[in-house]
Amino acid sequence: MVTESPRTAPEERLVNLVVALMATEQGLTKDTILSSVAGYREQTTAGASKDALEKMFERDKQTLRGLSIQIETIGDHADPDDLREARYRIPTAEYELPADIDFTPAELAVLNLAGGVWSESSMSAEARSGLRKIRALGNDVDAPIIGYSPRINLREAAFAPLQRAIEQGRVVSFAYMKPGEDAPRRRRLRPLALLEYEARWHVYGFDLDRDAHRTFLLSRISSEVEITRATFDLSEREGAGERALAGLADVAAQQSALLEVMPGTEAALRLARRARAADRGIRVPYVDVHILADELASYGPEVRVLEPEALRDEVVARLRRVLDAHGGAA
């Protein structure tokens, strides 16, 4: 069993991997990644089995693809289907600005200030060390990598312990506040995948008390995540992320909200990305009525809910609570 190095958190390992895969044009082999990228390198030095490290790498690829980071697999030129010596890279062209876009000194100053607020440096010593090792192996590396920090600060405190539990194959326990209930309930879960859907983090796994697979919103976890000693078969994680995303997409495809949105507003910009035109406004598919109600209420008068009635009632209830909190003033 592979345990996470105390020096490299799972989220830091993911960004170290992104840095390495974007810094090479011809791609890196799996062996190079496992021996050179911080987060894998420590595990190799500690004597972790190659099979366990390769499974960790496959899960990390799945996580990054869930974040819309495309990892390109390059096979043998003579036989592209032969992946025994496959190389991996992230095509930088997909993340570069068009050549006809530039910035004024004032705009660059603002961008640099924003980057400084986000992190004190572009790359950690661990990430730079990994790139130096890759250079020593004869791979071409683009030296200036700007704007990639090996530390991701997530608002959901549950993310890191759930990631550890998934990697170690451990059952977790946490309190979960479901909308409409007066108090949170304790859940016991075999966590199989973390995924981002509609800008919110979810954990997918097997609910031991309900004997079924479930998806939980991390923001509704109202306690610390307890990683128990109980374990489960690591093979359960295979394809879990894809199954969870497909399940959420199926739910969203079966229900939608009909909305009137003021053009040119923030609501119009944000909702248009996932909406389709309708006779009386736009239709927005959704998974959870409470999550969508939170979002729509935040837009205030920019959005009006035409249907379904249950969603309209939820939005109105939220707006009334805001009104009451300010003394009922119009």
Residue 269, pLDDT > 90, answer no
Residue 268, pLDDT > 90, answer no
What is the pLDDT averaged over residues 264-289? Answer: 87
Q: Which is higher by pLDDT, 171 or 124?
A: 171
pLDDT at 228: 95
Residues forming a β-bridge with 278: 281
pLDDT (tens digit per residue) in 40-78: 888 777 777 888 888 888 888 888 877 767 888 887 555
Tell if the pTM clears 0.85, that is, is over it: no
Give whichever of 47-61, 126-140, 149-163, 231-245 has the largest mean pLDDT: 231-245
pLDDT at 152: 43
- For the chain, the structural domain boundaries read 10-136, 159-251, 255-325
Beta-carbon count within 10 A of 298 CB: 15
What is the pLDDT averaged over residues 302-323? Answer: 92
pLDDT at 82: 57
Q: Which is higher by pLDDT, 102 or 167?
A: 167
Minimum mean pLDDT range among 39-48, 117-126, 147-156, 175-184: 117-126
Percent of the chain's residues with pLDDT above 90: 32
Please give the Cα distance from 61 to 18 (Å, whole number).
10
pLDDT (tens digit per residue) in 227-258: 999 999 999 999 998 999 999 989 988 999 99
Q: Which is higher by pLDDT, 190 or 136?
A: 190
Helix segments in the chain, DSSP class H: 10-22, 30-36, 41-45, 50-66, 105-118, 125-136, 159-168, 240-253, 266-272, 289-298, 309-325
pLDDT (tens digit per residue) in 166-198: 989 999 999 999 877 888 999 999 999 998 887
Please give the Cα distance from 268 to 251 (Å, whole number).
23
CATH T-level assignment (fold) for domain 159-251: SH3 type barrels. (2.30.30)
pLDDT at 267: 85
With cut-offs at 50, 70 and 90, classify the pLDDT of residue 144: very low
Residues forming a β-bridge with 139: none
Task: Name the 3-class secondary structure at 69.
Answer: coil
Please give the Cα distance from 149 to 116 (Å, whole number).
11
Residue 272, pLDDT > 80, answer yes
Minimum mean pLDDT range among 79-88, 196-205, 225-234: 79-88
Give me 238's structure tokens. 């295979």
The pLDDT mean for the chain works out to: 78
Listed residue (298, 249, 255, 257) closest to 281, CA to CA: 257
Q: Side chain identity at 22, as an amino acid letter?
A: M
Minimum mean pLDDT range among 39-48, 143-152, 283-292: 143-152
